[in-house]
Amino acid sequence: MLAGYAVHVEGSRGRRFPEPPHPYRNDFQRDRDRVIHARAFRRLEDKTQVFTRRYSDHFRNRLTHTIEVAQITRTVAAALNLNVDLAEALALVHDLGHPPFGHAGEKALDAAMRAHGLFFDHNLHALRIVEDFEQRYAAFRGLNLTFEVREGIIKHSCDYDPAKHPELAEYLLEQRPPLEAQLIDLTDEIGYNTADLDDGYEAHLLTLEQIRAGLPVFERFFREIEETYPDVPDKLKFNEALKGVFNRLADDLITNTQARLRQTGIETLTNIRLYPKRIAALSPAVEAERKQIKDFLYENLYYSPSLAGEKDDAERIVTELFDFWMKNPAALPHYYHEKASQESLPRVVCDYIAGMTDHFIAEQYEKYCGGN
């Protein structure tokens, strides 16, 4: 049973281009499936999350991260009686706009755009992918997703200023997004905070002692498991303790959001939209633990010297290729020549680079900048 404050598919504002109903799937299920079948979704397999393939084939890439976020989101959405189909579609689409080489690639692409008075934003880019770049249908460009999925792409992780983004006016920027979208920012964090501890430990960039000393919440679960299973290998104790942290975060997101719904007396989707703040949230105590994990990862993993070389390479490759195509637009593929007649060259070059996989951009670099 869907809650009154959930998004009901029958109440969807629909698609830009109306389509006949499907015999077996509702509109949000179809949107989820359209995302899964998108070329941009398949490319996530070869986009860095934190670690490149150099480390291990076991580590997360953006595709497996996305699947993990979808798993957490489905569980949390179902426990809150939200629309699981919509929440899952939003989880699967949430990283679609990320450029190659993770955060370093994104930073370099944004810096290249800022030199031309523009900027790069992965949520806005994801919207461009689903609205324009994906070409599957004869009748229209893009995936023709429902309003609620497009709105969630824009609004799940940040609030855009309506004055600065008149082009996004249709997405009701002055209102809060539905709970299904609000969840994504938090399930994304639960996913990558725990996964990055796992991959960081496996990569030997984080030690067990370091994690136990730096994260009291992990230490509590670790001690419990040591008492119950003193003789199992450290890796299994680590897994069990991490599972404890993971469940604590997800469980708190559910129970605290339920508590906030009760306290605010929210009963309808309109209440959610018009409430001055987001309702999906962790409780203050667990929020502090979440922040501690995030800070720990920044201090000990994301900026670790072992990853610095790859980041420098990523920034150099993105920056030099961007400059190359700005100076040599004729070397862009034919499709982008057409685009360049409709939009500024920096935007066209940015779109091209943002869509690339790690492998493809490295190949392009070799081809055009390899002699440098």
Task: Give residues in contact with Mg ion (CB under 5 A).
Answer: 95, 188
* Residue with smaller CB distance to Mg ion, 95 or 151: 95
Please give the C-alpha separations between residue 30 and each of 20, 59, 71, 165, in angstroms, as whole numbers.
Answer: 12, 30, 18, 29
DSSP characters over 59-103: S-BHHHHHHHHHHHHHHHHHHTT--HHHHHHHHHHTTTT--SSHH
How many helices (H) and strands (E) in the chain?
A: 17, 0
In the complex, minimum distance from the CB of residue 280 to Mg ion, in angstroms, rounded to a whole number: 16
In the complex, minimum distance from the CB of residue 180 to Mg ion, in angstroms, rounded to a whole number: 16
* Residue with smaller CB distance to Mg ion, 59 or 324: 59
* Residue with smaller CB distance to Mg ion, 103 or 260: 103
Structure-block tokens of residue 62: 């953006």
In the complex, minimum distance from the CB of residue 182 to Mg ion, in angstroms, rounded to a whole number: 15
* Residue with smaller CB distance to Mg ion, 69 or 205: 69
Q: What are phi and psi of 205, to 5 degrees?
A: -90, -20
CA 279 to chain centre: 20
In the complex, minimum distance from the CB of residue 139 to Mg ion, in angstroms, rounded to a whole number: 31
* Residue with smaller CB distance to Mg ion, 185 or 320: 185
In the complex, minimum distance from the CB of residue 14 to Mg ion, in angstroms, rounded to a whole number: 27
* Residue with smaller CB distance to Mg ion, 47 or 278: 47
Contacts of 191 (CB under 8 A, 6+ apart): 65, 68, 69, 72
Identity (one letter) of the amino acid at 137? Y
In the complex, minimum distance from the CB of residue 258 to Mg ion, in angstroms, rounded to a whole number: 24
